[in-house]
Amino acid sequence: MTMSVEQAGHSETADDAHFSIGDVSELTGLSIDTLRYYERAGLMPHVERDAAGRRVYGADDLGWITFVRRLRATAMPVSEIARYTELVRNDEGTPAERREVLVEHRRRVQRAMDDLVEALAILDRKIEHYEAAERGVDLDCSPDAITSVRLVEP
């Protein structure tokens, strides 16, 4: 469960807000260990520190963390996110180079989605086969051969 900026006890405007690592953990749903790992792995642009050496995150950091979470949710490798982060953080590379990192990953995500759609269709066919069998329909073929069975209820 995540909390809002107001729940974190910050009344500043979003652009002026500063958050502790605990606040960011609560706001994003990521563990403190994961946030530290993201920083060590190069997934976070420079995280500010206060005088005591504690991490201090701003609104931009929260937006970046949300973006990184989305990339990780699509199985983008940490090394690739780090490469992209480096291009963005140091203003290295052209916009075309940054775009290409994302375009290539999008291609992989699309292939994975296509594979999942195909797997879902196979599951649907098998479920239809077993539903037909439960209704007493004698299907004289294997569930793998079923493409579609629709029964009309009386």
Note the pTM of the prediction, 2 decimals.
Answer: 0.72
Please answer whether residues 137 and 149 qualify as being in contact, where contact means their C-beta atoms are separated by less than 8 angstroms.
Answer: yes
Dihedral angle, C-alpha 123, 124, 126, 127, nearest 10 °: 110
- Provide the residue-wise pLDDT of the chain in tens; the chain has 154 residues: 444 444 444 444 556 689 999 999 999 999 999 999 999 999 998 899 999 999 999 999 999 999 999 999 999 999 999 999 999 987 777 899 999 999 999 999 999 999 999 999 999 999 999 999 999 887 666 555 555 555 555 4
Please answer whether residues 64 and 47 qualify as being in contact, where contact means their C-beta atoms are separated by less than 8 angstroms.
Answer: no
